[in-house]
């Protein structure tokens, strides 16, 4: 069975995340327990939809990508700030340089997805910079990291029944 569009998007994005931060593990879900730092979580966020024509449906979908680098109390002398700055740079370089079409060289994802609009994807919505997250599923621990908003432009052909 083929992956759904959204599952495929999250798998491709996870491959890009691990390419951007090689020491990280990327998960295609939002809640992760007992992960090793640094790690990524992903969740679908907002969407806007409109019919382009009777047979073409355009969707703009955002994906919230969270990079978690540690617990808030760890390395509280400023190391986390510097690490986040470096990671943000690496993520933008990877996602903006070669991956607007969500291609990942050297992996199973070498072809452009058929559902992708010619606009591809982008990080124009930006990032949060250094941020703190409560993770109640891990025992109410606070974590430190950064969130990015990736916009993915989809184009679907609708077959009339």
Q: How far is residue 77's CA from residue 48's CA, in Å, rounded to a whole number?
A: 42
Check pLDDT > 80 for residue 55.
no
pLDDT for res 152: 92
Rg of the chain (C-alpha set): 17
pLDDT of 82-98, one tens digit each? 889 999 999 998 888 76
Q: What percent of the chain is predicted at pLDDT more than 70?
A: 84
pLDDT for res 1: 45
Q: Which domain holds residue 138?
A: 5-157
Average per-residue pLDDT for the chain = 84
Among candidate residues 156, 115, 133, the one with its CA nearest the CA of residue 3: 115
Q: How far is residue 89's CA from residue 139's CA, in Å, rounded to a whole number?
A: 31
Predicted TM-score (pTM) of this structure = 0.86
| Phi, psi dihedrals of residue 11, rounded to the nearest 5° | -65, -45
What 3-state class would DSSP assign to 156? strand
Give how many domains the chain has, as a whole number.
1
Domain at 46, CATH number? 3.30.2000.10
Highest mean pLDDT among 48-57, 88-97, 142-151: 142-151
């Amino acid at each position: 069975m083929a992956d759904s569009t959204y599952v495929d998007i999250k798998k491709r994005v996870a491959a890009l995340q691990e390419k951007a931060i090689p020491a990280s593990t990327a998960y295609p879900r939002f809640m992760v327990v007992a992960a090793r730092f640094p790690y990524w979580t992903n969740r679908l966020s907002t969407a806007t939809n409109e019919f382009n024509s009777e047979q073409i449906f355009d969707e703009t979908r955002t994906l919230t990508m969270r990079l978690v680098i540690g617990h808030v109390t760890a390395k509280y002398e400023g190391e986390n700030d510097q690490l986040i700055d470096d990671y943000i740079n690496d993520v933008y370089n990877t996602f903006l340089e070669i991956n607007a079409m969500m291609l990942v060289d050297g992996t199973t994802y070498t072809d452009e997805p058929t559902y992708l609009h010619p606009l591809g994807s982008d990080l124009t919505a930006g990032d949060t910079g250094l941020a703190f997250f409560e993770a109640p599923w891990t025992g109410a621990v606070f974590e430190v990291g950064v969130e990015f908003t990736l916009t993915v432009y989809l184009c679907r052909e609708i077959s009339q029944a």
